Amino acid sequence: ARFEDVRSGLERAVAQDPGYAEGLASLSMHYINAVRFRFVGVDEAQGLREAAMGLAQRAVQHAPNSSSAFHALALAQWFARRVDESLSSNRTALRLNPNDTELAADLSMRLSMRMQWEPAMHLYREAVSRDPFLLVTCRVTAFLYHYAAGRYADALEEVRQAYAPEVIYTHIMR
C-alpha cells in the first residue's frame, strides 16, 4: 500500500472510533514516519509532529496499559526533542511488553545515540538473541558502539549484516 493510502485508512478508522487506542497509536507512528523518512515537506512536518504527539497522548489516555500507545508517545517525544520523556515512555512500553524485540531494539538505539553503551548493548544483545532478523535500524546500536570505540571492522560488519539498500542508515554507516 502506498503511504497516502495507509494514512487515509488510519485517519478514517480514528474518525469512526476516536477511542480506538491502537488506531491512534498507529496513526501517530505513521505521522512520525512521514516526518523522519521525509515523505512530507518541511511545511507539513511540524504539523504532523504536533498531531502525532496529540494522537499518542490520546492513545495513552484510552489505553494506559498499551505498549503500542507508549511506543508511539516515545517516538513523538523523541522527534519533538523531548529526549528524557521519550526514553521514559519507551521504558514504560517495554515494561508493559517485555517480549517486544522491536521496542527493546528501539530503546537500545536511542540509548546508543546518547552513548549509554552498557544499557544500550544489553538491550541490543537481548533483542537480537530473540529475533536475529530485526529491522535494520537495530544494527545502528552495535554500529555506533563499535565505531565509537574505534573498532571499525566490527562496525562495518554490523553494516554488512544490516544491508538494506533502501534504508538510509546503511548508507550513512558505510
What residue spans of the chain are helical by DSSP H?
Answer: 3-16, 21-36, 42-62, 67-79, 83-96, 101-113, 117-130, 139-148, 152-161, 168-173
**Contact yes or no for 87/107 (Cβ under 8 A):** yes
Whether residue 97 is predicted with pLDDT greater than 90 in this model: the reply is yes
Q: Which residues contact 123 (CB under 8 A, 6 or more apart)?
A: 104, 105, 107, 108, 111, 141
Average pLDDT for the chain = 91
**Alpha-carbon gap, residue 70 to 55, rounded angstroms:** 11
Average pLDDT over residues 137-157: 89
Whether residue 1 is predicted with pLDDT greater than 80 in this model: the reply is no
The pLDDT of residue 32 is 95
Average pLDDT over residues 143-166: 85
| Model confidence, pTM | 0.89
How does pLDDT run across 60-95, given as a tens digit for each residue? Answer: 999 999 999 999 999 999 999 999 999 999 999 999
